[in-house]
Amino acid sequence: MKVAPKHAEMKQFPIKNNELHIGGVALSRLAARVGQTPFYAYDRKLITRRIGELRERLPQAIHLHYAIKANPMPAVVQHLAGLTDGLDVASLGEMRVALDTGVDPRTISFAGPGKNDTELRAAVAAGIIINLESEGELERLTSIGQALGIRPVVSVRVNPDFELKTSGMKMGGGPKPFGVDAERVPDMLKRIGALDLDWQGFHIFSGSQNLRSEAIVEAQSKTFELASRLLDHAPCPIRWLNIGGGFGIPYFPGETPLDIQPIADNLEILLEHYRPQLPDAEIVIELGRYLVGEAGVYVCEVIDRKESRGELFLVTNGGLHHHLAASGNFGQVIRKNYPVALAYPYQSEDAETVNVVGPLCTPLDILASKVELPKTQAGSLICIYQSGAYGYTASPHQFLGHSKPIEILV
Ligand SMILES: *Cc1c(COP(=O)(O)O)cnc(C)c1O
């Protein structure tokens, strides 16, 4: 009996000649080309396709931004720069990657609590939109603008007075380090009006990794409603409204892909309803993992197979130091397996239940716990799907002094 990996319902990468193909290249060949395992491979066609499908559904007026925190590999960001309408950055390092793509600085925005003076100075000099996160930041930025003789381009990041329900990561509502509490925004806008700043609009981001379109629809409706309330206090007509993102991707058993259509339909209604209030405003959606997460895999190699008291362990050269999220240590409360597959060879004669672990001396170094995979041995390649976002740069590479993975865009 041929056994295919049970866990891998992932269909984005074709299987040919008993191995996974990425960007049209067989995985074993790709590994030879990279020159090492482990590596991350991102498929550019899948990224292009995802954005094409999204644009087909979303209203034309929606500007699509890429939040490069999800995957800041320069080649990936360059690819996305050509497909999206702007880039969102959260540090000076990300800002440099974004500027290197050559996009118009006015389409880059910079959010993040705790922007230091060096970052603010660089952002003013670059002419990108700075999302103000506090009153203190506003004052520092104003001084920096005066010192440089450049008028800072700003928007106010609003900590909304509602939450994004059932979100994997809530980033708005209640007390938060992100943004200015909605009820304090009117005073801040008054202050902005008194200063020499080029005010563009609002940034309202309520959360991340949401798979329920109803929740996103509700949050977006409340976001427009909040923006429209705050507009009464605006120092000049609004030109920019970033309504956040939060589109999730399925990682774990039982999760289903986000249905975009209800979101698109609701946006159409919102745009029509609020257009009189926002005649010249660009409406921006910022997405990270939804654009790149499913286009990437993490590939590692089996080093050893061993049995311990009735359980089987596949020990690989990859682990939490390369892929913290797959190990369950990047914000998960209860550890669940990322979709994992034996990728080369893809099938074998038998299946077995295994633990896929890494080489680190810590019990946290688990890539997959008790999964059924085709029976395999040292030298075969294991792949972890849904690894195009929050993989490489969200992992503690230094931990235990192993070598780093390589990243490629195929
Ligand atoms: C992290 C972040 C994003 C991207 O989140 P995803 O879940 O990857 O889409 C977008 N906007 C802001 C402000 C963020 O902090």
37 located within any domain: yes
Mean pLDDT, residues 208-222: 96
Atom of ligand 1 nearest to the CA of 205: 13
* Amino acid in position 29: R
Instruction: Tell me: pLDDT of 3 over 50.
Output: no
For the Cβ of 286 lying below 6 angstroms from any atom of ligand 1, the answer is: yes
Q: Please work out whether the CB of residue 65 comes within 6 Å of at least one atom of ligand 1.
A: no
8 pLDDT higher than 60: no
User: Residue 142 CA to chain centroid, in angstroms?
Assistant: 31
253 C-alpha to ligand 1 centroid (Å): 23
Between the CA of 361 and the centroid of ligand 1 the distance, in Å, is 32
Chain-centroid distance, C-alpha 314: 29
Q: How many whole angstroms separate alpha carbon 177 and alpha carbon 306?
A: 46
Task: Please check whether residues 321 and 277 belong to one and the same domain.
Answer: no
To the nearest whole number, what is the mean pLDDT of the chain?
A: 95
Let me know whether 281 and 305 are in one domain: no
**Nearest residue by C-alpha to atom 5 in ligand 1:** 288
Q: Which one, of 317, 312, 314, 315, lies nearest residue 299 by Cα?
A: 317
Decide whether any atom of ligand 1 lies within 6 Å of the 67 Cβ. Answer: yes
- On whether both 402 and 253 belong to a single domain, the answer is no
Q: The tokens of 121 are what?
A: 């100075």
Whole-number pLDDT of residue 173: 79
Which residue of 47, 63, 88 sits with most ligand 1 atoms within 8 Å of its CB, as the best mutation to test the pocket? 88
User: Cβ distance 41 to 304 under 8 Å?
Assistant: no
Same structural domain, 276 and 309 = no
Q: What is the pLDDT of residue 9?
A: 63
Q: By 3-state DSSP, what share of the chain in percent is helix, strand and coil, each rounded to 5?
A: 35, 25, 40
Is the C-beta atom of 327 inside 6 A of ligand 1?
Answer: no
Q: Which two tokens stand for residue 279?
A: 């005649």
Predicted confidence band at 4 (pLDDT cuts at 50, 70, 90)? very low
Q: Which of 287, 306, 327 is the last residue of a domain?
A: 287
Antiparallel, parallel or unpaired: β 39-42 and 406-409: parallel
> Is there a single domain that holds both residue 240 and residue 359?
no
Beta-sheet strand order (sheet of 19-22): 15-16, 19-22, 25-26
How many CB atoms are closer than 10 A to CB 318? 30
Q: Kindly state whether residue 65 falls inside one of the protein's structural domains.
A: no
Centre a 10 Å sphere on the Cβ of residue 273 and count the other Cβ atoms it contains. Answer: 13
Instruction: Report the residue among 132, 205, 284 best suited for mutation to probe ligand 1: largest number of ligand atoms under 8 A from its CB.
Output: 205
The fraction of the chain above a pLDDT of 70, given in percent, is: 97
Cβ of 209 less than 6 Å from ligand 1: yes
> What is the average pLDDT across 59-75?
98
| 188 inside domain | yes
CA–CA distance, 380 with 23 (Å, rounded to integer): 20
Work out how many domains the chain is built from and give that number. Answer: 2
Is the pLDDT assigned to residue 14 strictly greater than 80? yes
Q: What is the mean pLDDT of the segment spanning 364-374?
A: 96
C-alpha distance from residue 104 to each of 68, 86, 199, 241, 405 (Å)? 16, 8, 18, 18, 32
Are 30 and 131 in a shared domain?
no
Say if ligand 1 is within 6 A of residue 110 CB: no
The CATH number that applies at residue 98 is 3.20.20.10
Ligand 1 centroid to Cα of residue 288, in Å, is 6
Dihedral pair phi/psi, residue 13, rounded to 5°: -110, 125
| Residue 167 pLDDT level (bands cut at 50, 70, 90) | low
- Shared domain for 247 and 385, answered yes or no, is no
Q: Which atom of ligand 1 is nearest to the CA of 209?
A: 7
- Residue 205, ligand 1, Cβ within 6 A: yes
Ligand 1 center–CA 308 separation, angstroms: 41
Element (DSSP H or E) covering residue 354:
strand 351-357
**pLDDT of residue 6 exceeding 50:** no
Task: With beta carbons less than 8 A apart as the criterion, state whether 190 and 233 touch.
Answer: yes
Residue 7 lies in a domain: no
Check pocket membership of 54 for ligand 1, CB cut-off 6 A. Answer: no
- What is the structure's pLDDT at 10? 86
Mean pLDDT within 110-115:
96
Q: Are 339 and 8 in contact (CB under 8 A)?
A: yes
The amino acid at residue 186 is: P
C-alpha 357 to ligand 1 mean position (Å): 29
In this predicted structure, the answer to whether residue 162 has a pLDDT above a threshold of 90 is no
Instruction: Kindly state whether residue 256 falls inside one of the protein's structural domains.
Output: yes
Contacts of 146 (CB under 8 A, 6+ apart): 196
User: Is 245 touching ligand 1 by the criterion CB < 6 Å?
Assistant: yes
Q: Which residue minimizes the CA distance to atom 9 of ligand 1?
A: 288
Report CA(333)–ligand 1 centroid distance (Å).
Answer: 20
Backbone angles phi, psi at 382, to 5 degrees: -110, 140
Residue 393: helix, strand or coil by DSSP? helix
Output b/e per residue, 212-245; b: 16+ Cβ within 10 A: bbebbbbbbbbbbebbeebbeebeeebbbbbbbb
pLDDT at 184 over 80: yes
Mean pLDDT of 246-256: 94
Residues near 276 by Cβ (< 8 Å), separated by ≥ 6? none
Q: Could you identify the atom of ligand 1 that is nearest to the CA of residue 389?
A: 8
Indicate whether 2 belongs to any domain: no
Same domain, 215 and 301: no
Find the domain containing 391 and state its range: 15-42+295-409
262, 287, 312 - which closes a domain: 287
Nearest residue (CA) to ligand 1, atom 6: 288
Shared domain check, 172 and 233: yes
The tokens describing 320, both together, are 């939490």
Torsion sign, CA atoms 110, 177, 145, 229: positive
Question: Mutate which of 287, 290, 387 to test ligand 1's pocket (most atoms within 8 Å of Cβ)?
Answer: 287
Asked if residue 129 has pLDDT above 50, the reply is yes
Examine the domain organization and report whether 184 and 241 are in the same domain: yes
| Greatest pairwise CA separation for the chain in angstroms | 75
Examine residue 60 and state whether it is found in any structural domain, yes or no. Answer: no
User: Of 287, 303, 324, at which residue does a domain stop?
Assistant: 287
What's the rounded Cα separation, in Å, for the pair 164 and 170?
7
Same domain, yes or no, for 100 and 188? yes
Exposed, middle or buried: residue 403 (CB in 10 Å: 0-12, 13-18, 19+)?
exposed
Residue 50 belongs to some domain of the structure: no
Residue 97 CA to ligand 1 center (angstroms) comes to: 17
Kindly report the three-state secondary structure assignment for every residue of 7-50.
Answer: CCCCCCCCEECCEEEECCEEHHHHHHHHCCCCEEEECHHHHHHH
Confidence class of residue 115 from pLDDT cuts 50, 70 and 90?
A: very high
Q: What is the model's pTM?
A: 0.95
Residue 148 sits in the same domain as residue 270: yes
Q: What is the CATH number of the domain that holds 333?
A: 2.40.37.10
Q: 171: pLDDT confidence band, cut at 50, 70 and 90?
A: confident
